[in-house]
Structure 1
Amino acid sequence: MNFTVWLIKRLAQAAVVLLIMSVIVFLGLHMIGNPADILLAPDATQVDRAELIERLGLDLPVWQQYWLFLKSALQGDLGNSFVYNTPAVTLILQRLPATLELAVLAMIFAVFIGIPLGLFAGLKPENPFAKLITTGSILGFSLPTFWVGLLLIMTFSVSLGLLPASGRGTTVRLFGVEWSFLTLDGLRHMLLPAINLAMFKVSLVVRLTNAGVREVKSLDYVRFARAKGLSPLRVVRRHILRNVMIPLVTVLGIEFGSTVAFAVVTESIFSWPGAGKLILDSINALDRPVVVAYLMVVVTLFVTINLIVDILYRVLDPRVRTEAAA
């Protein structure tokens, strides 16, 4: 199977996944409450209630509401927010860059801290520092995100006064989008929430790298490479690390998607104005178009990441290319 045919099949599968998820999300949200109960003032009359329900299209059967949503979605319109009276996609895209830069920084921490620590722990498992790394990774799995976030604020913001506890700080507009990472003040504001997001990811990468190195270093081809007289650094770089990275690519891709999707707790603790904070406010207000649009954007992100991971697999692992060509 050549690459073009494979790519078309993957895109078709992605379209089916998006369609199924849209049905699940749409039907699920329409079973939870009535937005009119929240949007109307306490002294609103039944006439006001009926007019609002009709204006929002909530008086139509669910299947008809979904059909209208699907037709609009195919044209790039996921509806208007009930609360802000603004296109839901516009609201999400305005907030998404803040979440993305936080997630990217968290994953950078995970990769550049987790992989070296896991590599060291796997190569020298009896070393006291390696045992400390393993113990620390277990601790990172166990600590609740909200508790770590509050502890970071109390330590570095309240007690030491080193880093700000909330907001994005000074931003710079690039390509029509406000970014925090382009200013020193913005980076200072990003540091604590990014560390909070990265704690679990670093622990996960350490554990996976450690386990992968322990498994790979005893295989025959690694022993053969050492027997040929290759330097330890080259053996690690060419034969151990490259094979360990194959499963890590998949995990890192999925974890990046989950970091974006589930940054709600961190964004709430640090008052970070990202998409996670927006979706939390929208759920509280039963703002269905925003919730549906956010979940569809997240599903699209996961599908895209999985596609990129599959492509990287073909690049990193020759066996995948051979099987695909057969």
Structure 2
Amino acid sequence: MTSFVFKRLSQAVIVLIVMSILVFTGVYVIGNPVDVLISPDATQAIREQVIAEYGLDQPLWKQYLDFVGSMSTGDFGRSFVFNMPVGELISQRLPATLELAVIAVLLASLIGVPLGIYAGYRPNSLASRIIMAGSILGFSVPTFWIGLMLIMLFAVQFGVLPAGGRGQTASLFGIPFSFLTLDGWKHLLLPVLNLSLFKMSMMCRLAAAGTREVMTTDAIKFARAAGIPERTILRKHVLKLISIPLVTVFGLELGSTLAFALVTETIFNWPGLGKLIIDSIASLDRPVMVAYLMMVSVLFVVINLSVDLAYAALDPRLRLKGR
């Protein structure tokens, strides 16, 4: 097990180094933030002063080494547009995206997995066919269209839920969260539902396919022959056997939701990282763009590492192989 963990950690470090080079180079060769930072009427002397102040006159390799050195100490630079440390800026927006993503993925799992297991357990029933048809609909309809329809229906027509914003928040360990207040939940419901529908469909179809496959195995046949109740078979045997692909999808979907909730945050005016990166791209705010992309890279590396460790905990063969 120790060698297995060490191998995964070594791979994670290599991936982060490669990603830092790709991210830094890709962002810094596209566009010129000087055109955004400086008025076209500014003199050449002012332009040169601003360029030198932000270190944009240095070679790309020198800027990269300075970036890595600063990043290793937790300093991601200063935002060109907001004129504040990037780490502080991201930390202000992260809780909003974090609670939105976690609640959406949990909702998708808690609803999608049981529905998928039922659909796989009784594939020929009418309820199963309705569930699978609904999952196809969840895959097919674009997220932005669903968001607009939710606003039109619940905010405009019925007026029971707000169309956007974060609502009232309450502090937990000094961090503001919306799920701690009733008004916050009203503002959370529509964006969470919009963000979770696609993931719910994915979890449902994955659980259904896994259940249909597992129900034909000898393990389930022996469990039935031993007189174990069907509910116990589904809860303890089927769910355990299909857990590895579900853990994979849960981890990856949580990471992708945290990183790419851009559409939902924009539609519902949710003040999270998605809206921040859109504004930063529009203004060529390089430090924010690089810090965001590096955070996403670290996030996916950590999630993949956690999924690998969860594999080892769920599958004894991996532990034996590590030894």
In structure 1, what is the equivalent of residue 302 of structure 2? 304
Shift of 1:104: 0.7
Q: Give the Cα–Cα distance (whole angstroms) in 2 for the partners of residues 159 and 207 of structure 1.
A: 32
In structure 2, what is the equivalent of residue 270 of structure 1? 268
In structure 2, what is the equivalent of residue 261 of structure 1? 259
| Residues 25-75 of structure 1 deviation map (CA, whole Å, 9 limit, x = unaligned) | 110011211001112224222222222111111111111110111111111
In structure 2, what is the equivalent of residue 144 of structure 1? 142
Shift of 1:161: 0.6
Kindly provide the amino acid, as one letter, of the partner of residue 158 in structure 1.
V
Paired positions, count: 323
Identity %: 56
Find the residue that maps to 2:242 and give its secondary structure: helix
RMSD: 1.1
Find the residue that maps to 1:173 and give its secondary structure: strand
In structure 1, what is the equivalent of residue 38 of structure 2? 40
Q: Give the Cα–Cα distance (whole angstroms) in 1 for the partners of residues 145 and 240 of structure 2.
A: 36
Find the residue that maps to 2:171 and give its secondary structure: strand
In structure 2, what is the equivalent of residue 234 of structure 1? 232
| Residues 301-321 of structure 1 deviation map (CA, whole Å, 9 limit, x = unaligned) | 111111211121112122222
Find the residue that maps to 1:225 and give its secondary structure: helix
Asked whether 1:21 is paired with 2:19, we answer yes
Find the residue that maps to 1:117 and give its secondary structure: helix
Asked whether 1:154 is paired with 2:158, we answer no
Find the residue that maps to 1:20 and give its secondary structure: helix
| Residues 215-247 of structure 1 deviation map (CA, whole Å, 9 limit, x = unaligned) | 000011111110111110111112111111111
Counting only pairs closer than 5 Å after superposition, residues 45-56 of structure 1 correspond to structure 2 as: 45-56=43-54
Counting only pairs closer than 5 Å after superposition, residues 1-326 of structure 1 correspond to structure 2 as: 2-3=1-2, 5-325=3-323
| Residues 234-268 of structure 1 deviation map (CA, whole Å, 9 limit, x = unaligned) | 11112111111111101110110000011011000
Q: Give the Cα–Cα distance (whole angstroms) in 2 for the partners of residues 302 and 224 of structure 1.
A: 39
Q: Give the Cα–Cα distance (whole angstroms) in 2 for the partners of residues 226 and 319 of structure 1.
A: 25
| Residues 162-194 of structure 1 deviation map (CA, whole Å, 9 limit, x = unaligned) | 111111100112212111111111111011001
Unpaired segments ≥5 residues, structure 1: none
Q: Give the Cα–Cα distance (whole angstroms) in 2 for the partners of residues 145 and 45 of structure 1.
A: 46
- 8 Å CA contact 2:5–2:309 kept in 1: the answer is no
Kindly provide the amino acid, as one letter, of the partner of residue 28 in structure 2.
H
Q: Give the Cα–Cα distance (whole angstroms) in 1 for the partners of residues 8 and 322 of structure 2.
A: 13
Q: Give the Cα–Cα distance (whole angstroms) in 1 for the partners of residues 20 and 89 of structure 2.
A: 19
| Residues 115-145 of structure 1 deviation map (CA, whole Å, 9 limit, x = unaligned) | 1110111001111111011111111111111
Deviates more, 1:201-210 or 1:166-175: 166-175
Kindly provide the amino acid, as one letter, of the partner of residue 261 in structure 1.
A
Q: Give the Cα–Cα distance (whole angstroms) in 2 for the partners of residues 47 and 195 of structure 1.
A: 53
Find the residue that maps to 1:80 and give its secondary structure: coil
| Residues 68-89 of structure 1 deviation map (CA, whole Å, 9 limit, x = unaligned) | 1111111111111111121111
Q: What's the TM-score once normalised by structure 1's chain length?
A: 0.97
